[in-house]
Structure formats: structure tokens, C-alpha cells
């Protein structure tokens, strides 16, 4: 099911965009945590049926940023916290690079926290997570490409379902911090058992391997149905067992018994009435305990299903992000100068960031586009940048194509080999692409 932002918000919510804006609760850690090894970037892209006209794309970007000013921001240091400063300029459109989602050189990008690039038939946007999450980013990409197609072909594309009308004014609910709005006085422990991590030969800074598996969505759906699972449950369980297969070959007996867990982002807009284009996502670390024995695919799917029923309940989600909001509101933390906060937040991220999961799997689901726009689109892709874990996974579907991206910062293609071989052995047709020769 498509994740989207409803744009039918009452007119009273429209007012001038603020010149400066505090970071949302989830974004506060990213400036301190960002580094060459963990740039906190993700990419969304669309392959068109024709070569992209850069001049038309520049005009479409200008119109899109006028409608979505929460993306037209520079990151600034304050005394206590970072904040975002609105700018009227337009970022440059870059040529495609071999390593997407690498550390964002804001000087070359005129200070903006996202990068638009085009190559041949592809329009891509790399986002620094300080601006938005996958849902907000997808709304930006949809609007940008819809505006491009409208200008290029002089067609009228229906707006809604995440595609915003560039002739409308921005609305304040689109850039609210929904974490603060829905937080309650409750807390839950952040402590978990550390998870198994795949090990390999680290690549040099800036090198990221991307393997894309393109599969018929209908085949994935049919296979998931055989197991009484959703597409996300099936893919997550398969990924867990692929990591477990790698773990079984580990020579360290302690590491062979560590939990194998996948971090699953949860779109909070499905649980709370929010129209924000900024970050509004939680997560669940779910998996298996190898010390208890081996797991079948059926057992693993059941664990994912029941785990999500608990972790994705409204009460648990509220407790999780309310814990983070309580930390932000702590008087001692609020009054600590930023030059002291930065190293502490960096240390916290290094110690905790990916400690509790073996990999991330972010699934934006099936993207629905109006027919007037869909006929110009071949496929949609979603990928996560490098992180402390050497592997990360993301997928999105459009039409009957599911694009599953695995990014890694180690030389050995361990997870790709296990995961896609497993799916192929089930009769699913997989076409592989890579950014490496």
C-alpha cells in the first residue's frame, strides 16, 4: 500500500514559511552523528521513458521548492542546538555519481541538505536525513517529477496522494514537528540485546557497493501468500534467514549465537493524523535467537508478524518517541552548549546507533501514480546510504516491479549472494544490477 501525505488541509493552516526552524526530534542526532562512514543519506529516484531535459528539470525544481519550502534549507549551528535556515536559492542539478548517498558536500551544493541529479532517463534525489524521512522524500520526488512531466509535455497531472500542487501555498502542518505534537509523559527502555553484525573488508571512504534486485511484484506477492504473509513480512523473514546463513559460517562461537535482528522503520503517519513532510518515523528491531535453535521461514514470518503487532501498536510507538522527546526536553540537555552536545551525541550514536540490529530494511511499499504520470515512468528506486552496519536494505514497488537495493561498505558481497539466491531458489525471477563492473 502506498504511503502518502493527504494534502486536503483546511485553508486556515496556511501562513508564511518561517525564516528559521528547529530540527525535528528525530533529526537532532544526525548533524552530530554524520561522518564519512555514516553520512545519514538516502536516495529516491525515478526512471523515465525518455532522456531527462535538464533545463526543464531546473524549472520544475524551482516550482517544487516554492511549494515545499521545508526542503529549501541550510543547516546552521546555534549555541544550544542546530537549526534550519530557509533560503530562496535553487540548488544545482548534479551529474550522476558512481557512489550515491555519499557524504554531502554542502559547499558544492550551495549549502542545501539534499542533492538533485539526473543521468540519461533517471531523476534522483539524495536526502540528508535531517530534512525528512522516506515518506516525505517520496512526496518531494513525486511532486518534482509530476511538475517536470507537466512542463515537458504540457499535460495536467491530478494532484493528491503525495503529489502536491505547485500553484498552492505551503501549509504549516506540512512542516510541524509531529513528535512534539503527539508525545506523552511516558517512557520505555531503549536497552536491547546487541545483534550480530556481518563483517568484511572495509572499503575506503566514499565507496559504496549497490546491488539492485528487480523482481516481479506479483511473484513476491504469490510466494508471500503461500506462507500467509504480507510482502514485508516475507521479505524481512527471508533477509533474516540470509543473514543467519552467513552467521552460521562465522568462526567465532559467541558471534554464532548472537541474535539476528532487522530494523524495520515504521511510518507514524499511519497511526497518528499527521501531514508533516519532515521526519515522523519510528522503528522495530525484530528477529530470531539462534541460541534457541534453527528457524524455518514459517517460524520466522510468525515472529515478525507477532513482533510487529506489539511494536507497531499505537501505545508502544507513543512510548518510544515520547522517550526521545523527554530527553530533548531534559533541562540539563537543553542548557548544555552545542560544542559539548556534539561529541556526546556522536559517542552515543557510535555506541548505540546500529548496535541492536544486523541490518535495516526500509520498504516504502507500492507507489501509486495517476495514469497521466505513470505512463512516463519505467520504475522507482529507493536506497539507503552507508551506516555503521556494513549493509543496509531498502525497497519500493511500482507497477509489477519491486526494486530491492542492498548497499554495503565492505568488499565481500555476502548478503546479496545469500538473499537473492534464496529468492531465486523459491522460483522468483531476479534481475541483478550493480554500480560496479
Listed in order, strand segments (DSSP E) in 53-148 are: 73-77, 82-86, 93-95, 114-119, 122-128
pLDDT in tens, 177-228: 999 999 999 999 988 999 999 999 999 887 899 999 999 999 999 999 999 9
> With contact defined as beta carbons under 8 Å apart, do 212 and 403 qualify?
yes
Q: Diameter of the chain by CA atoms?
A: 63
Angle (CA) 385-406-61 rounded to 5° is 45
Question: Distance between CA atoms of 157 and 170, rounded to whole angstroms?
Answer: 19
Q: How far is CA 127 from CA 110, 117, 265, in A?
A: 14, 11, 17
What domains sit in the chain, N to C, each tagged with a CATH number?
11-182 (3.30.559.10), 209-434 (3.30.559.30)
231 vs 14: which has the higher pLDDT: 231
Question: Distance between CA atoms of 352 and 375, rounded to whole angstroms?
Answer: 44
**Chain mean pLDDT for the chain:** 93
pTM of the complete model: 0.94
Question: Distance between CA atoms of 54 and 119, rounded to whole angstroms?
Answer: 9
The C-alpha cell that represents 345 in the structure block = 551525541
For residue 437, what pLDDT band results from cuts at 50, 70 and 90? low
User: Which candidate, 90, 111, 87, places its Cα nearest to that of 17?
Assistant: 87
The H or E element that residue 281 is part of is strand 281-288
pLDDT in tens, 325-356: 999 999 999 999 999 999 999 888 887 888 99
Amino acid at each position: 500500500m502506498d504511503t502518502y501525505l493527504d494534502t486536503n488541509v483546511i485553508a486556515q493552516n496556511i501562513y508564511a514559511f518561517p525564516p528559521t526552524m528547529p530540527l525535528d526530534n528525530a533529526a537532532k542526532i544526525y548533524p552530530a552523528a554524520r561522518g564519512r562512514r555514516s553520512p545519514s543519506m538516502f536516495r529516491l529516484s525515478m526512471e523515465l521513458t525518455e532522456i531527462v531535459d535538464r533545463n526543464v528539470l531546473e524549472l520544475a525544481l524551482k516550482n517544487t521548492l516554492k511549494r515545499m519550502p521545508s526542503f529549501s534549507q541550510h543547516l546552521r549551528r546555534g549555541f544550544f542546538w542546530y537549526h534550519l535556515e530557509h533560503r530562496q536559492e535553487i540548488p544545482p542539478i548534479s551529474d550522476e555519481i558512481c557512489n550515491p548517498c555519499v557524504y554531502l558536500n554542502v559547499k558544492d551544493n550551495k549549502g542545501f541538505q539534499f542533492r538533485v541529479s539526473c543521468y540519461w532517463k533517471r531523476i534522483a534525489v539524495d536526502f540528508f536525513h535531517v530534512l525528512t524521512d522516506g515518506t516525505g522524500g517520496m512526496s518531494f520526488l513525486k511532486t518534482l517529477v509530476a511538475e517536470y512531466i507537466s512542463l515537458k509535455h504540457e499535460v495536467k497531472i491530478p494532484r493528491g496522494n503525495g503529489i502536491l500542487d505547485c500553484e498552492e501555498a505551503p501549509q504549516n502542518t506540512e512542516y510541524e514537528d509531529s513528535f512534539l505534537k503527539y508525545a506523552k509523559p511516558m517512557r520505555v527502555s531503549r536497552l536491547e540485546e546487541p545483534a550480530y553484525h556481518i563483517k568484511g573488508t572495509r572499503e575506503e571512504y566514499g565507496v559504496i557497493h549497490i546491488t539492485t534486485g528487480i523482481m516481479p511484484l506479483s511473484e513476491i506477492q504469490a510466494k508471500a501468500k503461500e506462507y500467509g504473509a504480507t510482502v514485508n513480512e516475507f521479505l524481512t523473514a527471508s533477509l533474516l534467514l540470509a543473514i543467519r546463513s552467513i552467521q552460521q559460517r562465522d568462526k567465532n562461537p559467541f558471534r554464532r549465537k548472537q541474535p539476528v535482528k532487522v530494523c524495520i522503520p515504521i511510518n507514524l503517519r499511519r497511526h497518528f493524523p499527521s501531514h508533516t513532510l519532515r521526519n515522523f518515523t519510528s522503528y522495530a528491531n525484530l528477529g530470531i535467537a539462534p541460541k534457541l535453535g534453527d528457524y524455518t521461514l514459517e517460524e520466522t514470518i510468525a515472529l515478525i508478524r507477532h513482533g510487529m503487532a506489539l511494536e507497531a501498536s499505537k501505545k508502544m510507538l507513543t512510548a518510544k518517541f515520547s522517550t526521545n522527546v523527554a530527553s530533548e526536553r531534559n533541562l540539563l540537555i537543553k542548557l548544555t552548549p552545542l560544542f559539548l552536545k556534539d561529541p556526546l551525541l556522536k559517542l552515543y550514536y557510535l555506541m548505540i546507533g546500529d548496535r541492536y540490529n544486523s541490518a535495516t530494511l526500509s520498504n516504502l511499499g507500492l507507489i501509486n501514480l495517476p495514469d497521466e504520470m505513470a505512463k512516463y515512468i519505467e520504475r522507482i528506486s529507493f536506497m539507503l546510504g552507508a551506516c555503521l552496519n556494513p549493509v543496509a536494505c531498502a525497497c519500493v514497488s511500482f507497477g509489477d516491479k519491486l526494486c530491492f537495493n542492498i548497499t554495503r561498505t565492505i568488499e565481500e558481497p555476502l548478503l546479496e549472494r545469500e538473499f537473492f539466491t534464496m529468492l531465486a531458489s523459491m522460483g522468483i525471477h531476479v534481475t541483478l544490477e550493480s554500480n560496479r563492473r
